[in-house]
Amino acid sequence: MSTMISRRFYFLIAIFFSLQIIACNGKSIDVSLISQEELISQIETEQSFLILDVRSKKEYELGHIPGAINIDFKELKNRIEEIDSFRNSQIVVYCERGIRAKVAEAILQEAGFQSVFHLEGDMYAWRKKFLPMESQ
């Protein structure tokens, strides 16, 4: 039990310092919000964009937004080439509650992605509204 608490504590500390480093770089992270309703509309009209789930593989497999691809936020920097074809497209990023998505958004912007959006309420709000989900 204490090992799990220790892991969570160190994980939260790592997130905190990551956010501090991002903030101290002097670059402002300008990410627009997109509502669940707007995203559903875009999914239905089949517009060309990327939905990026930055949660763990296990969380993704348990349920994700239809059409989303999964790259854990901890792996994003090393796997950025996998989504390079979306460099000039809209990218909608989400996690469970927003912290990991913020880190991922900073990584995307640092890599030159211009049109990055954050899903308002993340997966937590999506699930609470009983919106469509896929699982694997």
Catalytic pick among 92, 95, 108, 119: 95
pLDDT of residue 23: 47
Q: Which DSSP string do the residues of 45-77 spell out, in sequence order?
A: TT-SEEEEE-S-HHHHHH-B-TT-EE--TTTHH
Burial of 37 (0-12, 13-18, 19+ CB in 10 A): exposed
pLDDT in tens, 67-121: 999 999 999 999 999 999 999 999 999 999 999 999 999 999 999 998 999 999 9
In one-letter notation, the amino acid at residue 54 is V
Fold of 28-128: Oxidized Rhodanese; domain 1 (3.40.250)
Count, residues in the chain: 136
pTM for the full model?
0.78
Lookup: tokens for 84: 């390079």
Indicate if the pLDDT at residue 132 is higher than 60.
yes
At 16, which helix (H) or strand (E)?
helix 2-24
Average pLDDT over residues 41-52: 89
Average pLDDT for 116-131: 97
Please, are residues 118 and 93 in contact by the beta-carbon 8 Å criterion? yes
Q: Can 24 be counted among the known catalytic residues? A: no
| Residue-level pLDDT at 42 | 92
pLDDT of the residue at 56: 98
Q: Alpha-carbon torsion 92, 110, 54, 18, what sign?
A: negative
**Mean pLDDT for the stretch of residues 23-38:** 72
User: What is the pLDDT, as a whole number, of residue 2?
Assistant: 54
